[in-house]
Amino acid sequence: MSQAARTLNYDRAYLSRVLNGKQRPSSQLAHALDELLGAEGALVELADALTPDDRARIARTLAAPSRLDRGTVDALAGALAAQRRLDDVFPAVAMLPATTAQWDSIDKLARDARGPHAEDFHKVAAEWAQFIGWLHAEARNDADAVRWLTAAEERADDVGSGELAAQAANFKGYLARQQQRPRAVVRWFLAAYHTPGATPLQRVGDAVQAAHGYAWLGQRDDARRLLDEAADLADASADQAPPDTAYWLSPTFSRMGIGLALLALGDHADAAENLRVGLDGLPDDQRGAEWAREYRDALDEAHADA
């Protein structure tokens, strides 16, 4: 903190108050910290996500949850979206303390919210729990990740959101892959793939990652079958936009999952090509993401074995 204060020419006490949540950062400080930390604009986006009016509205709603209004729901959804994008440039361990601390207010509001906008807010709360679970999965806090993602699945079911339920199962599949548990990889990605209400783009990603699990187990026919199903789905959903809750999905994103599956099948040249296309298709602010390292390492392995 002292080094940052010197580098940015800010008073250390002021910087300490900001970083400990006791004072709002100025726009100038948000820009300076974003540049210092290489956040690609994501930190500025987060700092600007809530206006003073938004903050006052949220405070009033927390004091009287029965008065939950549309503006509060939209403001909190926007703040969560900005934090999710910040996760693409910051490590999960840096994101967890603030995101988890915010949950106390989100959960309280979810318990007590009333009125016509309560259901939409419960969707925001389900996504918030899912995001915390994802951060724990990235940080390899495995037990906490499972606990939060299970809670997120239940909340998604309560509000009838197949998109959110499928995404929580998908994140459990990601965690199983980090744990080197191929059967659990197949189980969770197939659960996401078959979740009613999952979008076609989500199902493409789920299918190719389940195929990777099958290939890992040596069940080549099952892996190839799912890759074929994913290709058909991808063609059918080529013009569809990703859901807001899975903004990172794109026509080329699933190529990285295909690359993992082909690598496990021993098709090293095709694996390298798919991994390269998928990684090259990532937006600039996602290329250095913590979760992208897995695919970069796989590309190196595919090149080495080709």
- In 3D space, the residue among 269, 276, 277, 261 whose CA is nearest the CA of residue 306 turns out to be 269
| pLDDT of amino acid 81 | 93
Tell me the one-letter amino acid at 17: R
CB atoms within 10 A of CB 110: 19
Which CATH fold topology does 161-305 show? Answer: 1.25.40
| pLDDT of amino acid 131 | 98
| pLDDT of amino acid 51 | 87
The residue extents of the domains of the chain are: 161-305
| pLDDT of amino acid 236 | 84
Orientation of helix 92-112 relative to helix 52-63, angle to 10°? 50
What mean pLDDT is predicted for residues 91-101?
A: 91
What confidence category does residue 161 fall into, taking pLDDT thresholds of 50, 70 and 90?
Answer: very high
| pLDDT of amino acid 47 | 83
Residue 20 has pLDDT above 80, yes or no: no
Residue 49 has pLDDT above 90, yes or no: no
**Which two structure tokens, joined as six digits, stand for 12?**
């250390």
Residue 43 has pLDDT above 90, yes or no: no
**What share of the chain in percent tops pLDDT 90?**
72
Residue 41 has pLDDT above 90, yes or no: no
Task: Give yes or no for a contact between 202 and 167, defined as CB atoms under 8 angstroms apart.
Answer: yes
Residue 103 has pLDDT above 80, yes or no: yes
Residue 282 has pLDDT above 90, yes or no: yes
| pLDDT of amino acid 19 | 79
What confidence category does residue 122 fall into, taking pLDDT thresholds of 50, 70 and 90?
Answer: very high
What mean pLDDT is predicted for residues 117-139?
A: 97
Task: Give yes or no for a contact between 68 and 117, defined as CB atoms under 8 angstroms apart.
Answer: yes
What confidence category does residue 118 fall into, taking pLDDT thresholds of 50, 70 and 90?
Answer: very high
What confidence category does residue 285 fall into, taking pLDDT thresholds of 50, 70 and 90?
Answer: confident
SS (HEC) of the chain: CHHHHHHHCCCHHHHHHHHCCCCCCCHHHHHHHHHHHCCCCHHHHHHCCCCHHHHHHHHHHHHCHHHCCHHHHHHHHHHHHHHHHHCCCCCHHHHHHHHHHHHHHHHHHHHHCCCCCHHHHHHHHHHHHHHHHHHHHHHCCHHHHHHHHHHHHHHHHHCCCHHHHHHHHHHHHHHHHHCCCHHHHHHHHHHHHCCCCCCHHHHHHHHHHHHHHHHHCCCHHHHHHHHHHHHHHHHHCCCCCCCHHHCCCCCCCHHHHHHHHHHHHCCHHHHHHHHHHHHHCCCHHHCCCHHHHHHHHHHHHHHHHC
**Per-residue pLDDT tens for 200-248?**
999 999 999 999 999 999 999 999 999 999 999 998 887 888 888 899 9
* Distance of alpha carbon 253 from alpha carbon 204, whole angstroms: 10
| pLDDT of amino acid 174 | 98
* Distance of alpha carbon 188 from alpha carbon 172, whole angstroms: 6
| pLDDT of amino acid 262 | 97
| pLDDT of amino acid 45 | 85
Rg of the chain (C-alpha set): 21
Task: Give yes or no for a contact between 89 and 35, defined as CB atoms under 8 angstroms apart.
Answer: no
Average pLDDT of the chain to the nearest whole number: 93
